[in-house]
Amino acid sequence: MSQEPERPATALRRLVNGYQVTQAIHVAATLGIADLLAGGPRGSDDLASATGAHPDALYRLLRALASIGVVREEADRRFALTDLGDCLRSDAPESLSGWAAFVGDSYHWQAWGALLHSVQTGENAFRHVHGIDPWTLRARHPERSAVFDRAMTSLSRQVVASVLAAYDFGRFGVVVDVAGGNGAFLAAILAHHPAIRGVLFDQPHVVSGSGPILEAAGVTDRCEVVAGSFFDDVPGGGDAYILKAILHDWEDEECVRILHTCRRAMADGAALLVVEQELGPANENPASKFSDLNMLASPGGRERTPEEYAVLFAAAGFRFVGVTGSAVGTAVFEGAAA
């Protein structure tokens, strides 16, 4: 049966109501619904008692999620996981449970609620709403930091296989992941290239959560963990310095400061590997264009073109060597000492 094309007004209303989908998935992720359904279908009352949720309200959440394919409603208010919902399991290979938990978290959500302020003034919404930057807020709230770190692990796991297929890290002896979060990206590189040694560097309250991830990847004995700030110093001795999803968090001035710190630590032959999303052509690539808006609203940075990265590199003593794209739109922007 052929389907009527969606009318423009209907399509727009669906897009406008996107916030409802975000929160509904966020709540399901926070309650751990996908993990509870991993063993097979369960009734909504049963799920309510397992999660401490209100039975009728949880049923309404689940039937809404079933209408968009995140779960499937069966007879007698029983629900099953779909392929989509399976990606919300915390142990799914490309789990998005951490990302879903973060995106609807109230403090992040409130920053997006001030997007109009950002667009009218060019100012960062997060600082406007909370009076501080997200890194300071999360350092003061370890539970929020843990949710954010899990979100970063989610995103790293979504892209790392494609980046490994596109870019050969095997030519390096020691790889330093500057601000590598809980270590998911570096752990995958080390697991893929058994001869490489790694250094995971990030803030103290972040690297403290790296143990289980390095251990699960079987790379603990090849990975040194170092705490600090990239505005002060980063570890020396690396053949490659990865900055993944870091420069997009910051405006140009801070990026140059971070790159200067790296340059100081790097030997002349070491490689700078900035791993970020490619913006893509006009009218395409909503993931990167909305990630850019997310940078405006939340940390206060931006996604950049290769030319814009080249300008940052030059300002910090690097020359732009080239860019290696990957199937998922995450690219390696490579620099070397100028």
Residues that bind ligand SAM (CB under 6 A): 135, 152, 156, 179-181, 185, 202-203, 206, 229-231, 244-246, 249
Phi/psi-derived region of residue 155, left when phi > 0, alpha when psi is between -120 and 50, beta in every other case = alpha
Burial 13-35 (b: 16+ CB within 10 A, else e): eeeeeeeeeeebbbbbbebbbbb
Is the C-alpha dihedral spanning 87, 148, 174, 334 positive or negative?
A: positive
Q: In this complex, which beta carbon is closest to ligand SAM, that of residue 71 or of residue 274?
A: 274
Shortest distance (Å) from residue 301 CB to ligand SAM: 9
Q: In this complex, which beta carbon is closest to ligand SAM, that of residue 59 or of residue 309?
A: 309
Per the annotation, the verdict on 248 as an active-site residue is yes
Q: In this complex, which beta carbon is closest to ligand SAM, that of residue 44 or of residue 156?
A: 156
Q: In this complex, which beta carbon is closest to ligand SAM, that of residue 109 or of residue 135?
A: 135
Q: In this complex, which beta carbon is closest to ligand SAM, that of residue 127 or of residue 244?
A: 244
Enumerate residues 6+ apart whose C-beta is below 8 A from 78: 41, 42, 43, 44
Helix or strand run (H / E) with residue 257 = helix 252-265
Shortest distance (Å) from residue 84 CB to ligand SAM: 23
Kindly report the backbone phi and psi dihedral angles of residue 242, in degrees, each rounded to the nearest multiple of 5, phi listed first: -90, 135
Check if the beta carbon of residue 218 is closer than 8 Å to that of residue 190.
Answer: no
Shortest distance (Å) from residue 187 CB to ligand SAM: 11
Enumerate residues 6+ apart whose C-beta is below 8 A from 302: 248, 251, 292, 295, 296
Please give the sequence-ordered ranges of beta strands (E in DSSP) within the chain, or none if there are none: 42-43, 71-73, 78-81, 174-178, 197-202, 223-227, 240-244, 271-277, 318-324, 330-337
Shortest distance (Å) from residue 16 CB to ligand SAM: 28
Shortest distance (Å) from residue 137 CB to ligand SAM: 12
Shortest distance (Å) from residue 49 CB to ligand SAM: 35
Nearest Cα to Cα of residue 309 among 324, 296, 297, 299:
324
Catalytic member of 26, 108, 193, 248: 248
Nearest Cα to Cα of residue 226 among 172, 160, 174, 156:
174
Q: In this complex, which beta carbon is closest to ligand SAM, that of residue 156 or of residue 277?
A: 156
Q: How do strand 330-337 and strand 271-277 relate by DSSP bridges?
A: antiparallel
Q: Which residues are catalytic?
A: 248
